[in-house]
Chains A and B, each alone.
Chain A
Amino acid sequence: MNRLESMEQVTRRSLDWLACFVVAALVTLSLIYIRSTDIVGPNFEIGTKWLWQAVWAALGTALLLSARSIDYRLLGPALFALYAVCVGLLLYVYFCGPVINGARRWLLLCGVISVQPAGPARFVTLLTFCYWISPKCPFELPKLLHRAIAYAILFTPAFLIAIEPAGGNALTLVLAGFVIELVHRAPTSVVRRILIYAGLGFALAQVELSWVRGRHIDPEIVREAYDWWFYGHQTNRVTWFLSEAGCWNGKQSVLSIMSGGLTGKGLGQGFLQALGYLPRGVSSSDFIFAVVGEESGFVGCAVVLCLYGTLITLGYAIAARARDPFGRLAATGITTIFALHTLVNLLMVVRMCPIIGLPLPFLSKGGTFLAMSMLGMGVLASVHRQSVKAELANAGEREAAPSPPEGVHQAVLTCGPFLRVFVEFTQSGLDECAEVLEARAAAHAAGLLFPLGPPDDPPPSGQRKTRRRRRRPPTSRQAAPQREFPNFPVPVGEAD
């Protein structure tokens, strides 16, 4: 195997670390921009509320690393209990929660910390849904009943979230479930058609939108047409979206982005959000991208777009390489949640879709959502970690290489400086590096590629699998279980 192939393999096995690096970059940017929006006093001093975001980021980092260390498959049975708790919290919030800004969405802990149960409820619901429809589900039921329960699992929290009201969150949950179903069940041709029609429909809608806005349609007509579909404020949002002038926030977000130009006005120099044009209540959350556009210009926006593109690509790549359907579906669901949030928020900020109020993952202010997102990233990393383990297990005999070839060592280091940081931070990281180096050396010696292999064989009963912490002397390769597998070499991730 040449150096490029080795680098490619190492990179593929470090997808989760790459994703964590992207998340770290986004969280860092969020602290910078949220600090810019934390304006207090008549003299525009910087406040200290952005520090809370840093606290939640630290908490989220701990959740991420913890979740990564745990085998996601062990979540399975616990998900039902978590699901029940989340549904209970949603019911409690709806009936007993405090009314803030006309909505019941938050729980007040100790009267100070506000937590939104909808955030963790969505992730738990998705994981439960994925677990239920995956082969790992322990319940054997008739097909129709099984599907009915699956949809009940999905739609019950969605309904409870929608009536809070938090229509955007409910919509993303339902859409994520739909995408999971597509990945799990739908033929490729159907999915292709759906995506093409959706894209064409969106493009056509944009063309019609410009026509509608130019016609100055009476807002009352629009309001009458949509009033019975939505709540009052949602109808207003649709009305403003279809009008030329738009609502105040939408107009200000567009002006903010436009005024940034190529390189922006500079960090902390954004006029529109500092002077109150872009309301401070939303500039740090739903319209944080407008702040990025104003302060960092097109350069900053491009960086953020690249980070999100990388994150979603990595998420779906992790899903594609998952070792089992539950892992694949869970990774798909989590990544889809991120993708929907990102897309809707960006389109909303540039007035390509109505204001739905979905924050940007990792960038917008919001402790609960940040923590849950990082927890989701931890689950994603766990999925990838297990798939890497399975891959390594299929590598056969693992011989400890006296020293890895220089090129591989360089490739590992080149994969990202973050590796060094996280490696120093966790012992598991160190182990993994050692494993990667060992496997690579063994593969190099054996001259083999690593096809996708079956999950780890369960240890014999009574024996507890122990983690190898030291390099063992090379042993003879254990006989691989018989498998019917194509004889042609199948590179990992490309078995189509």
Chain B
Amino acid sequence: METERSEDRWELNKPITADAVMGAGERNPRRVLRMLTLTYLIALGAVAAWLVRYQVVGSPEMMDSYNRQIVRRIHLPPQRGSILDCNEVPIRTNAATFKFVLYLDALVDPRHGRQKCLNQIGQAIVEFAKLFDTPTYRRLLRPESDIRATLLANGPLGLVLNEDFDPSDQMMAIWAVHRGDFPHIRLERRLRRMSTYPNCLVHTAGDIRLEEPIPSPAGALSGHARDTYHLYQKEMRGISGLELACDSVLRGTPGVEEVVVTANGLQRASVISRTDPVPGGHQYTTLDTRLQAISERGFFEDGGRGAFVITTCVDGAIRAIGSAPCPPLRTPDMDWKAIEADPDHPLLNRAKQSLYSPGSTIKPLLAQAFLASGKVAFDDLILCTGKQSIGRRLRGCKRAHGHVNMGDAIRLSCNTYFHRVGMQVGGDDLREWLENAYGCNDSEEAPELALPATTIMSRTGETWRPIENWLLCIGQGATEVSVPVLANAAAALVTGVVCRPHLLRPDPHALSPVSPPPNHAICRLPTTPETRRQVLQGMIDVVHGNPATGRRAKVAGLLIAAKTGTAEKEVDGGSRRINNTLMIALVPARAPVYAIACIVEDGRSGGATVAPRLKKVIEGMLEAGLILSDEEAGEGNES
């Protein structure tokens, strides 16, 4: 039987034929092997072509996928700048606090499920918290939702256990002893916004909030998908007041750190690049914190609702501004509902947001307008008989003042005088004068104040009706101004220049002034030094005369020029009326430096309610050396 073997077996002693070597027919093992070799080399060539395509030529999509996988861009929050007063005393600044941060990479075992990892992390936190006292222990324990959110974030930023605490010596000692037992926990520094004067300038300076630039789904409601490539840490953002208005200056520029993370995203392997954050610049203001503290204490220490503004007569720079009542500085455990439900509305910044009728404080401005018109002289006498019929009611003064000139009218706040002279001068001229005096024609405004627009009483017909003139001359009706405007109008009484009230000033330490100093003057009133002196004398008599409406503001050793005012206001839907009591003052009267405007809502009268508070403030200013008494000023002049 022919077997396979006998066909092609090589027998050792038999001659070797070509057929035996080459095989029968077309079989050729060498050729087959050569073809196999060629096939293999072609396959290797295909692999080489792939390598050339992706390694040498490159693929932007793949490189982007590669970078997004292993690289994280951590945005580093910048240090927020400080808000400084005119003496470069910080109003709002940063103070270092500390926080414990738990880094999860050492606790997360990829072999374990998520719940087991959560339990391990929670247990580690409890073990750590047990080292400290009970209050700290409670603060350190984090809810499982926070742990889960941090775990799911898959980022290298860690879980903050407790922040914004000032570690006591005991706590630091415990940490120093046990830190080696908790290699995954670190004590890190964090900057916290602090107020140098905790009860001052709450409204004006404003507040900040810690927030991530990109909201995460766990927090805000925007629903943005969290980008694992860009990681943000919380940074301060202004939410009110100067913090908000000057946020662009204070915020600074965030830094960026590009790090390579491990496969679980929790651990940083190396730092690719780092751009340090640029701290925010300081914002210089015109405020004087000493004067602010004196003012807040003097005006509203005894309670009440209202506002005050103190500006410099020269350029309208606000030295002090306040509103009462004001809320406390924001804390995490504040009862916001109680604050919002407070009938006194402490969140309302009356100094910036409210408009008030100026009342009799408008009369010095009208007096200058009368003198400027030339239709009446300072010494011209007008008979005040008390009441007269204007409109449907008897209106006039509380009592008959008899023959009064302009100075007497200012001192006694004679409504009859100003109404009659006002009728002579004409309402349109007065209105125009008041628009200039109250800065209605200011096309630019200080953004940090954002004051509401002043309104001036206007006529409804072809000519002014007596009632309209009456309301205009006594500073009521549709005439409403804000408190800073009131103060600046008072300053214009002595300077003749109406300035724009402002809070901010340029950086005095700038290397080179970019532009000339800003000019805050809005317009010049057509007054003469003589008319200004005359009106000022009338205002001095308001305090130092007899009788005088502002005598309760008299301070020994200092001449004060002031004007009281009382404006009726309907509240509660017109069901009742209250008196908004006002006062404007120029101190020291011999050479006014400061213009003060103050309003107290629901008072008796300007002289009864505001004047005593003004006296306290001026006494505080004297005590603090912000103004000199007349005697000291005289001695200084002599020397």
Contacts and interface: CB of A to CB of B under 8 A. Distances in A.
A143 B16 contact: no
A406 interface: no
A135 B269 contact: no
Nearest to B70: A271
A464 B262 CA distance: 67
Interface stretch (A51-59, A60-68, A99-107, A185-193): A185-193
A332 B40 contact: no
B154 to A, nearest CB: 13
Q: Chain B CB within 10 Å — which of A136, A184, A191, A328 has the most?
A: A191
B29 A258 contact: no
Nearest to B110: A276
B40 A135 contact: no
B239 interface: no
Contact of B56 (A186, A298, A305, A346): A298
Nearest to B4: A143
Nearest to A276: B263
B131 interface: no
Interface in B1-60: 1, 3-6, 8-10, 12, 15-18, 21-22, 25-37, 39-44, 46-48, 50-52, 54-56, 58-59
B54 to A, nearest CB: 5
A188 B28 CA distance: 6
The bracket for how many chain B residues form the interface is 35 or more
A185 B264 CA distance: 55
A191 B260 CA distance: 51
Interface in B327-368: none
Interface in A476-496: 481-486, 493, 495-496
A135 B10 contact: yes
Interface in A432-484: 452, 454-455, 457-458, 481-484
B65 interface: yes
Nearest to A326: B10
Contacts, number: 176
A325 B26 CA distance: 17
Interface string B46-81: 111011101110110011011001100000000000
A182 B23 CA distance: 13
Interface string A257-278: 1111110000000011011110
Given A146-B3, A352-B50, A298 B33 contact: no
Interface in A223-265: 254-255, 257-262
A452 B21 contact: yes
A348 to B, nearest CB: 11
A324 B11 CA distance: 11
Contacts of A42: 106, 267
A262 B55 CA distance: 6
A46 interface: no
Contact of B263 (A185, A258, A262, A277): A277
A328 to B, nearest CB: 6
B41 A142 contact: no
Interface in A192-230: 192, 195, 198-199, 202
A118 to B, nearest CB: 23
A276 B109 CA distance: 13
B313 interface: no
A317 B58 CA distance: 36
Interface in A342-368: 342-343, 346-347, 350, 352
Interface in B596-615: none
A316 interface: yes
B261 interface: yes
A293 B55 contact: yes
Contact of A258 (B35, B59, B261): B59
A255 B66 CA distance: 6
Contact of B3 (A142, A346, A481): A142
Contacts of A90: none
Given A183-B29, A275-B260, A352-B50, A140 B3 contact: yes
Contacts of B16: 454, 483-485
Nearest to B37: A316
Contact of B42 (A142, A179, A199, A258): A199
A189 B26 CA distance: 8
Contacts of A316: 33-34, 36-37
Given A255-B66, A275-B269, A458 B1 contact: no
A313 interface: yes
A258 B63 contact: yes
Contacts of B58: 258, 261
Interface string A124-161: 00000000000111001111001100000000000000
Contacts of B17: 484
Contacts of B39: 195, 198-199
A255 B16 CA distance: 57
Nearest to A251: B65
Given A483-B15, A485-B16, A320 B9 contact: no
A31 interface: no
B47 A187 contact: no
Contacts of A140: 3, 5-6
Contacts of A319: 29, 33
B10 A305 contact: no
A187 B26 contact: yes
A305 B44 contact: yes
A44 interface: yes
Nearest to A44: B269
Contacts of B55: 257-258, 260-262, 293, 297-298, 301
Contact of A135 (B9, B29, B42): B9
Contacts of A89: none
Contacts of B33: 183, 316-317, 319-320, 332
A346 B37 CA distance: 17
A46 to B, nearest CB: 15
A143 to B, nearest CB: 5
A458 B12 contact: yes
A379 interface: no
A308 interface: yes
A412 interface: no
Given A346-B44, A483-B16, A484-B18, A293 B66 contact: no
A274 B270 CA distance: 12
A313 B70 contact: no
B8 A258 contact: no
Contact of A191 (B3, B32, B66): B32
Contacts of B26: 187-189
A19 to B, nearest CB: 13
A339 interface: yes
B47 A347 contact: yes
Contacts of A142: 1, 3
A259 B8 contact: no
Contacts of A135: 5, 8-10
B31 A188 contact: yes
Interface string A300-329: 011001001100110011011000110010
Nearest to A332: B33
Interface of A: 42, 44, 135-137, 140-143, 146-147, 179, 182-189, 191-192, 195, 198-199, 202, 254-255, 257-262, 271-272, 274-277, 293, 297-298, 301-302, 305, 308-309, 312-313, 316-317, 319-320, 324-325, 328, 332, 336, 339, 342-343, 346-347, 350, 352, 452, 454-455, 457-458, 481-486, 493, 495-496
Given A255-B65, A261-B56, A276-B262, 19 more contacts: A42-B267, A44-B269, A140-B6, A183-B32, A189-B26, A195-B35, A199-B42, A271-B260, A277-B69, A293-B51, A302-B48, A302-B51, A325-B10, A336-B36, A346-B44, A347-B43, A352-B46, A481-B15, A495-B21
28 contacts: A137-B5, A146-B5, A147-B4, A182-B32, A187-B25, A189-B26, A195-B36, A199-B42, A255-B65, A257-B54, A258-B54, A258-B62, A259-B66, A260-B55, A261-B56, A275-B269, A276-B263, A293-B55, A298-B52, A319-B29, A320-B33, A320-B34, A350-B51, A352-B46, A455-B12, A457-B12, A484-B17, A484-B18
